[in-house]
Amino acid sequence: MKSSWVYRNLPNTVSVLGVLPIALLLLEDGARFLVPLLIYNNIMDDLDGQLAVKLDLKSEFGATLDNLCDAVAHVFFVIFVGMTFGGVTLAFSMVAVVAILMRMTSRIVPPPRASAGSPTNELMRHLALVLVSTEFLGWSPQPWLLAVFAWNSVSMLVPYALPHSVRSLTKTTVGIAMVNVTLLVAWLVPEAAPVIAVCFLLPYLYSLTAGGIACRKRTEA
């Protein structure tokens, strides 16, 4: 079984399956699928990596395919959000698209600090949490979307790691699963979404700010 094509390509299959349902956004009422698709894509993106590691199926092709699928999905999500809200939000989303493509390119052709910056799926998690939280609270999502696009456009390209973000702190399979369960809870129990959003955003912002201060001090030393 381990030598079969299906088994050897399990992580790659999961990567592709994480992208295909995004076509639902093209439906006339596709916007209602946005949050569940963001969460679904995050789950599948984590799952393909875990399968590759746990089943010893890591490969250069798989890593490239994963990056390509991430790029397609995340760019599509960001453009969709930008076009849905239009105006300044669309402009900020285009900046985020450029940052995503630059980040993905750096992972395919790694520079000396390829591990620096935040992953593009950090932006996807933030988008999902902001959309659910603002809907529950009755707030306009646009100011928060602008902030999320701006923060992540910077953090994806900074020359230092963000070790205190929630996802960076969860390296085990159980921890990664809990992150995804938490996202599902935020969607299914909107009352919990604002608290969960704060728990994700505060460590991320602390990491971004503290890392920037430390990086500046090293540069000036």
**What is the CB neighbour count within 10 angstroms for residue 65?**
18
| CB atoms closer than 10 angstroms to residue 70 | 24
pLDDT of residue 1: 55
CA distance between the termini of the chain: 56
pLDDT of residue 168: 82
What pLDDT does 115 receive? 59
Strands (DSSP E) contained in 139-185 are none
Give the other-Cβ count within 10 Å of 151's Cβ. Answer: 19
Rounded Cα–Cα distance for residues 90 and 120 (Å): 18
Tens-digit pLDDT profile for residues 196-210: 999 999 999 999 999
Beta carbons of 120 and 156 less than 8 angstroms apart: yes
What does each C-alpha distance from 190 to 137, 138, 201 come to in angstroms? 9, 12, 17
pLDDT, tens digit, for every residue of 93-142? 999 999 999 998 876 665 544 457 888 999 999 999 999 999 999 999 99
Distance in angstroms (rounded) separating the CA atoms of residues 30 and 20: 14
Domain layout of the chain by residue ranges: 5-220
Helix or strand or coil: residue 138?
Answer: coil
pLDDT at 36 (0 to 100): 98
The CA distance from 164 to 133, in Å, is 22
SS3 content of the chain, % helix, strand, coil (to 5): 80, 0, 20
pLDDT, block means (10 residues), the chain with 221 residues: 76 94 95 97 94 88 91 97 97 97 77 68 96 98 98 94 85 92 98 97 94 87 70
Q: What is the pLDDT of residue 19?
A: 96
pLDDT of residue 2: 59
pTM for the model: 0.93
According to the model, what pLDDT value does residue 110 have?
A: 54
Q: Is 118 exposed, middle or buried (0-12, 13-18, 19+ CB in 10 A)?
A: buried
